[in-house]
Structure 1
Amino acid sequence: MLNQKRFWGLFLTIVLVMIGFKSFAQTPPPDYFPLPVGGVWEYQAKTADGKQSKLTIKVEGLETQSDGTNLYKTENNLGFAPFYIWYSKPSGLVKEHQQLYTFGGNNTEYRLEPAKTILKNPPTSGDSWTWEGKEIAVMTTEVKENYRVVGIEDIEVPAGKFSTFKLEIEGTKAGKPFKKVAWYGNFIGPIKWQIFDDQGTLKTTTELGKYTFPPN
């Protein structure tokens, strides 16, 4: 009887350890943006003078380029005409490649040369990097952006309370300074962002209202 009890005790311990290892092995690494194909995020934006608008972002799918790079295509809709942004996710980074605006049957494409690193994935407090390049459309615009991960911050938006990484971006576009602050949540993406003008005055605050992900 004693040996049988020891056997079942040992067997139960092994099973629990195996379950623990399985759960640990299945825990995905942190991922901040862009998140799953088919995911939809709805945002509420408010300007400093009280004007409100809505923004919907959807990850439409993955597109494989001729060089083998996989780009995430996102549709962004402000309620009157969608625009599209393409991102790649090389190891530990998120890069923005191009944008496409459609209005009145006309398309306007913006290409970024080189592709712009917009986020470390995952970010770490103290991370900093600089992107300097060109926005190429009808005209070519020189842009320089400095990024800095300030740290972890708990924030509350209409979608709920989140632990986020706060990212500050300062730079110049065609010689004109600007500033942006963004908050990212693990496995969610952008939670909130603010845009400031060249005088440092807050112009727009955008917050996550709700998000829906496709079933696994």
Structure 2
Amino acid sequence: MNLSETRYKQFSITRFLLVGLQSLSLACAASALGANVLEAKEPPKKAVATYFPMKKGTWWKYRITRGDSVYDFTLRVVDVQKENNEDVYEIDTIAQQTIKDWYVRRGDQILRLRQHFGDNPSARVVFEPPYLLMVDPLKLASNWQWQGKGMLGVKVVDNSQVEAFEDLDLEVGKFNAARIVSNVKQDKSRLQKVYWYAAGVGLVKSKVTNGDVSSITELIDYSFKPRK
């Protein structure tokens, strides 16, 4: 493995642990979390509600468990700017280092335009073509693919599909969520991601496994949560 691949792997591991978008399987996640995950017998006929547009100041707080380590991070919509007559959303992952991502909606596609990892000028990327994160609204059996170059110019192929709608009972609340499974190839590395999006809320749960590094992430609070 050359220096570029090694540095990219380090960036990838940190990024996946913070954003919490990866997993091996539903069974592993349910067992590790002790969560009550029920397979929906009849998936909702309606698609999951849209997530865009998002309001500036909206935030989601997550907790990561990795072995004996537990720590929190926050996703926050910090700015919305016009670029080429499009609304571009800056969403920061706030932890020990701040990761900045810029997103746009085009038709039914949610696209990541660029990413800055901390203050390191070499840890910045403009995705060409823009990284297809997901389609919106989410429907059962929806699928999409993205191919391009990630951080440090590493080639990435990402195939995703909505496999089911499931009921999750988490500490922050109960959700019916779309389970998305992604198979990702980064140069010689192969990853599988499983993450859950709830209607009108966003990402509520994920598990990350990358080689011998794994973590579980759950939503623990969000700015628009109904308060008793």
Give the superposition deviation at 1:213.
3.1
Cα gap change, 1:33/1:208 in structure 2, threshold over 3 Å: closer, same or farther?
farther
SS at match of 1:171: strand
Please list the CA deviations of residues 111-163 of structure 1 after superposition, one character each: whole Å capped at 9, or x if unmatched: 2111111111110000111111111x5x3110001101011111122311111
Q: Which runs of 5 or more residues in structure 1 are unaligned?
A: 1-28
Whether 1:73 aligns to 2:73 is: no
Cα gap change, 1:85/1:182 in structure 2, threshold over 3 Å: closer, same or farther?
same
1:46-195 paired onto structure 2 within 5 Å: 46-47=65-66, 49-65=67-83, 67-78=84-95, 80-103=96-119, 106-107=120-121, 108-135=123-150, 137=151, 139-195=152-208
State the number of aligned residues.
178
2:134–2:144 Cα contact (<8 Å) kept = no
Cα gap change, 1:33/1:156 in structure 2, threshold over 3 Å: closer, same or farther?
farther
Taking the aligned partners of 2:53 and 2:191, their CA distance within structure 1 comes to: 24
* Structure 1 moving runs of 4+ over 6 Å: none
Give the superposition deviation at 1:30.
1.9
2:90–2:101 Cα contact (<8 Å) kept = yes
1:44 is matched with which residue? 63
Give the superposition deviation at 1:183.
0.4
Identical amino acids, percent of aligned pairs? 22
Structure with the bigger RCO (C-alpha within 8 Å, sep 6+) is: 2
Taking the aligned partners of 1:35 and 1:45, their CA distance within structure 2 comes to: 24
Taking the aligned partners of 1:176 and 1:130, their CA distance within structure 2 comes to: 17
Question: Over the residues paired in the alignment, what is the CA RMSD in angstroms?
Answer: 2.2
